[in-house]
Chains A and B, each alone.
Chain A
Amino acid sequence: MIQVEPTGVSFETKEDETIMAAAIRNGYTWPTICGGQGTCKTCVFLTLEGKGNLTEIEPWEAQALESIVDTLPNRGQGWRLACQAKAIGDVRVKKIGVRQA
């Protein structure tokens, strides 16, 4: 299950489904401009708990995160792209702009 602060919304993800895709399927908003291609980086979120329950960062996502590292607190530590990361267990994250669509 994914829980999103500060709104507190939560939803389940299916196997092989990105966090952003799961949020939208469950009727929630998630910021995106590129629609999930991993290019706009607006979907970026901070992991609060359950870091180990996220799939590995692939090179494409790593490159994207690197390009915005300067605007992320803590030099980007714990930040992921919701259109790339998938969950394999419970994760609690912080993302502004996630709510009932």
Chain B
Amino acid sequence: MAKTKQEMDSKLAPGEARSRGKQIQDLLDEETVEVPWQLRDAEYTYLGSEPLDRDHYISQEWCDKETENLWSRVWQLACFEQDIPEVGDHIVYDIVDWSFILVRTEPDTIKAFYNSCLHRGRRLCTNELEPANKPEFRCPFHGITWNVDGSLKAIPPSIEFDFPHVDKEEFGLPEVKCERWDGFVFINIDDDAEPLMDFLGDITKHFERWPFANRWKATHSAKIVDSNWKLAQEAFMEAFHVLATHPQMSIGLLGGDGSNTEYNIYDNGDANWSRMTMAPPMPNPNLPYELTEQELIEEMFFRGESVSEMGVQKMAGSAEDLPEGMTTRKLLADAARKNGPNGFVGGEPTDVELTSAIQYHIFPNISPWPGPIFYRHRPYGRDPDKCIMEIMMMVSLPEGAERPPAAKINWLGPDEHFGNIFNQDVENVAQVQRGLKAAKPPGGLTLGNYQDIKVRWHHRLLEKWVNREI
């Protein structure tokens, strides 16, 4: 394989080159508290630089293959336990053509049923993602009714004469595999699927530090986005688009442009999860001269409210009041520490945890953060050009605090936005979807060796599923 010029000049193997300046692991060396092993568990494997097939995003045939070979067999997040806290509470989860009812049948039992009547097949529940508590599932078409545990409750007396062939004991709603981890409720359509915990692997150990079970889903927004579900998700799989797409981030880029982000894939890319960690604000190493920490702090105070949402101004009135040797990231970390960090166990949070966006992904479509943000991306039916993007705030509660009811889903209309930064991403991916169709240059898409590794990881696993190698 041909080497890039940089690789030939510097004798680095492909994938070994990194951006200028400090890397995340260098910053961890400077921590004053114990660094959790999770942050040091930072694997990366070069997976080649073969072009990526555009059809993964735009072809109907590929989209149908995903339905048949991925969604029909993979573990996927249906809801959170807190969405259905009481016995009888249920919620609908849809994926492509399938629909499921998730219901709490006993205080500690959650079951999943196909959302389809056994008579003529009507959807039993139509309250998409809206939790509800009804003592039964009554089909709106002819009124046949099931108990919340899936057993048949009644065929209406006026029509019962016509169903002498129905064995009432056997006429329960078919169940689908449903397993839980740390407050998440997963389903799998494949009865022969491996256990959820085997599928998840070591990410469950990573999240022992940032548990989800007692977080609170404070907000939940959803939007239909004009791109393939993978494109929308990939907006959060690399950070080097910050320079061009989000120039307002990180104190107007003087505090970094996303190029010092760490990317991790595990087990040579075979693990079903990955991670990226964005560097906290520090003097941008890509400036043509060295910006000092003092200058960066001054810039932060100069920009004012707009960049220091964490009460920095309250801690220090002005840049001049700051102690010698203070860094921007330390200042932000201290402010976050004071405001109460988001659910750390097993020690003091590190500065990196407090000031960097750490984003995990679980194949195929969810992204839990140690911090409060959480994403899910689903296809929009069988349309390769659209998807459902969801953003939730999963906040940790102080110890002993009672958890308020989980937020219900809020569907944003075509002209409503998730927020400024997200909107820039949403606009991008819609343009990428169109751009992918605008031409078909030979050779597919050209990815970066390191910074696009999560994108490559995801497509590599996806191909294995689609080709039934998994």
Cβ-defined contact, A71 with B306, below 8 A: yes
Give Cα distance in the complex from A67 to B257, angstroms: 15
Q: Which residues of B contact A31 (CB under 8 A)?
A: 254, 287, 291
What is the distance, in angstroms, from B281's C-beta to the closest C-beta of chain A? 12
Q: What sequence of 0s and 1s flags, for each residue 78-101 of chain A, a beta carbon within 8 Å of any chain B beta carbon?
A: 000000000000000010110001
Q: How large is the interface on B (under 10, 10 to 19, 20 to 34, 35 or more residues)?
A: 20 to 34
The answer to the question of A3 belonging to the interface, with a C-beta cut-off of 8 Å to chain B, is no
A73 interface contact, C-beta 8 A:
yes
Q: Which B residues lie within 8 Å of A67 (CB)?
A: 247-248
Q: Which residue from A35, A70, A97 sits with its C-beta under 8 Å from B420?
A: A70
A94 vs B243: C-alpha distance in the bound complex, in angstroms?
23
Q: Kindly state whether residue B286 has any CB partner on chain A within 8 Å.
A: yes
Cβ–Cβ contact A73 & B286, under 8 A: no
> Which A residue sits closest to B288, measured CB to CB?
A32
Whether the Cβ atoms of B252 and A42 lie closer than 8 Å is yes
| Cβ–Cβ contact B284 & A71, under 8 A | no
Assess the B244–A73 pair: CB atoms within 8 A: no
Chain A interface residue bracket vs B:
20 to 34
Bound Cα distance from A41 to B247, whole angstroms: 7
A2 in the interface (beta carbon within 8 A): no
Distance (whole angstroms) from the CB of B252 to the closest CB of chain A: 6
Contact (A40, B247) CB under 8 Å given A32-B288, A71-B252, A73-B304: yes
Contact of A42 with B295 in the complex, beta carbons under 8 Å: no
Q: Is B298 an interface residue (CB 8 A)?
A: yes
Taking CB atoms and an 8 Å cut-off, the chain B residues in 96-118 that contact chain A are none
Within 8 A of B (CB), among A23-69: 29, 31-33, 35, 39-42, 44, 64, 67-68
Enumerate chain A residues within 8 angstroms of B252, measured Cβ to Cβ: 41-42, 44, 68, 71
A79 CB, min distance to chain B CBs, angstroms: 10
Q: Which residue of B lies closest to A71 (CB)?
A: B248
Contacts of A73 in B (CB 8 A): 302-306
Q: Which of A39, A41, A96 contacts B299 (CB 8 A)?
A: A96
| Residues of the B chain whose Cβ atoms lie less than 8 Å from the Cβ of A9 | none
Please, what's the 1-or-0 string for B239-259, where 1 marks a CB less than 8 Å from any CB in chain A?
000011001100111100100
Q: Which residues of B contact A1 (CB under 8 A)?
A: none
Over the window 301-313 of chain B, the binary record of Cβ atoms lying under 8 Å from chain A Cβ atoms (1 yes, 0 no) is 0111111000000
Which of A6, A44, A71 has the most CB atoms of chain B within a 10 A radius of its CB?
A: A71
Residue B243 contacts which of A29, A33, A35, A101 (CB distance < 8 angstroms)?
A33
CB of B289 within 8 Å of the partner chain? yes
A70 touches B306 (CB 8 A): yes
**A41 and B303 contact, CB distance less than 8 A:** no
Cα(A94)–Cα(B247), bound, Å: 19
Are A68 and B295 within 8 A (Cβ)?
no
Report B423 CB to chain A, min CB distance, Å. Answer: 11
- Whole-angstrom distance between the alpha carbons of A94 and B284 in the complex? 20
Distance A71 CA – B306 CA, assembled complex (angstroms): 5
Taken together as a complex, chains A and B put the C-alpha atoms of A6 and B253 apart, in Å, by 20
Asked whether, in the complex, the Cβ of B248 is within 8 Å of the Cβ of A6, the reply is: no
How far apart are B429's CB and chain A's nearest CB, in angstroms?
A: 17
In the complex where A41-B252, A96-B295, A96-B298 touch, is A29 in contact with B303 (Cβ < 8 A)? Answer: no
Complex Cα–Cα for A64 and B252 (A): 12
Within 8 A of A (CB), among B296-340: 296, 298-299, 302-307
CA distance A41 to B243 in the complex (A): 9
- Cβ–Cβ < 8 Å partners of B286 in chain A: 33
Q: Which residues of A lie under 8 Å from residue B248 when comparing CB positions?
A: 41, 67-68, 70-71
- Residues from chain B with a CB closer than 8 A to the CB of A42 are 247, 252-254, 284, 287
Bound-state CA distance A32–B284 (Å) is 10
Q: Do B304 and A29 have beta carbons less than 8 Å apart?
A: no
Residue of B at shortest CB range from A73?
A: B304
A97 touches B291 (CB 8 A): yes
Cα(A34)–Cα(B257), bound, Å: 12
Closest to A97 in B: B295
Tell me which residues across on chain B come within 8 A of A72, comparing CB atoms: 303, 306
20 A-B residue pairings within 8 Å (CB atoms): A6-B298, A33-B253, A33-B257, A40-B253, A40-B257, A42-B247, A42-B252, A42-B253, A67-B248, A68-B247, A70-B248, A70-B420, A71-B248, A71-B303, A71-B307, A73-B305, A96-B254, A96-B299, A97-B254, A97-B299
A-B residue pairs, 3 tightest by C-beta = A71-B248, A96-B299, A41-B247
Given contacts A39-B244, A71-B251, 20 further A-B contacts (CB under 8 A): A29-B288, A33-B287, A35-B288, A42-B247, A42-B254, A42-B287, A67-B247, A68-B252, A70-B248, A71-B248, A71-B306, A71-B307, A73-B303, A73-B304, A94-B302, A96-B254, A96-B298, A97-B287, A97-B295, A97-B299
